[in-house]
Amino acid sequence: MKFSKKILTTIITGAVAISLSACSSKSPGTAKDGNEQKIEMAALKLVTAVEKGNYKLVSTEELKKWIDEKQDIIIIDTMPADSYAKQKIPGAVNAELPVKMEDVKPEQREAFIKALGTDKNKKVVIYCGFVGCARSDVGALIAKEEGFKEVYRQPGGIIAWIDAGYKLG
């Protein structure tokens, strides 16, 4: 699969770069809490989900660029409404989803599909809380099932947006 090879190449390149920089005695690694295994597990879970779902990833930085360029995109926050009300990426709409596809209620699916709109060629970006959160994977899977062609998952979610120092919506 062409898409999977590109993502795997990107991830492997990034992992090698992180590994090389983490090998120096001055570098504490990438985990804030010192638990690199948790980061590794989240990364592997992400790669598996992306391959299985056949959607794309967009970095926090690239998403910010798209927003600044005023690209015609749909941004969907899949977190619960109370989280969305407190902090969201600018321009995002809310359509709460559970962390497992089998737990999606018909009314949640219907609300999510409504948030997607009708233009199946429009770029769609879906996010949730953080890399380990699977709500955005559920949303990306639904968007692909509904025939949307440009489906992106922003894996770092709102936490990566905040960590980058970007303004909230």
pLDDT tens-place string over residues 75-127: 999 999 999 999 999 999 999 999 999 999 999 999 999 999 999 999 999 99
Q: Is the pLDDT of residue 162 over 90?
A: yes
Provide the pLDDT confidence category of residue 134 given band limits of 50, 70 and 90: very high
CA distance 157 to 46: 13
Structural domains of the chain in order of their starting residue, each with its CATH number = 2-163 (3.40.250.10)
> Which tokens is 17 given?
């770069």
CB 77 within 8 A of CB 127: yes
Q: Is residue 2 classed exposed, middle or buried when 0-12, 13-18 and 19+ CB atoms within 10 A define those classes?
A: exposed
Q: What is the structure's pLDDT at 30?
A: 64
Higher-confidence position of 4 and 161: 161
Q: Is the pTM of this model over 0.75?
A: yes
How crowded is residue 119: how many other Cβ atoms within 10 Å of its Cβ?
13
Q: What is the structure's pLDDT at 5?
A: 54
Closest to 60 in 3D by CA, of 137, 136, 140, 164: 164
Closest to 94 in 3D by CA, of 128, 144, 140: 128
Phi, psi of 53 (to 5 degrees): -80, -15
pLDDT tens-place string over residues 18-71: 443 333 334 445 666 767 888 888 889 999 999 999 999 999 999 999 999 999
Distances (CA, A) of 155 to 12, 28, 35, 136, 141: 17, 23, 19, 8, 14
